[in-house]
Structure 1
Amino acid sequence: MCDERTGRQTIEGLKECVCNMDKAAAQLEHGLISSDYAPYVREIRQNIEKLYSYLK
């Protein structure tokens, strides 16, 4: 979601993005997505934690 006035992402939009990244990381961890992407799980999780801390 973008703010119509500024064109920038809203907090709600960022939260939705973080939620989607969290779901994708969980799918990777549970083998629902190709294991070729498994090395990225740790980095995704770290980024999610950083984003959550900014969005609180």
Structure 2
Amino acid sequence: MFLERGFENVTVTDITERPGLTRGTFFRYFTDKSLAGQPRRLLWPRCSPVSA
């Protein structure tokens, strides 16, 4: 979405409507939309696989 419309033209509402989330759910995981635009690898550095 950021690539389609540009970062400044995308709102948190736009981000949450597409997958059917609420704004509250969004803000539980992200403090602002700038974090949502970060590559996943920057938000969650390599995690060790969990073995059963």
Normalising by the smaller structure, the TM-score range is under 0.3
TM-score of the superposed pair, with normalisation by structure 2: 0.24
RCO comparison, higher one (Cα < 8 Å, 6+): 1
TM-score of the superposed pair, with normalisation by structure 1: 0.23
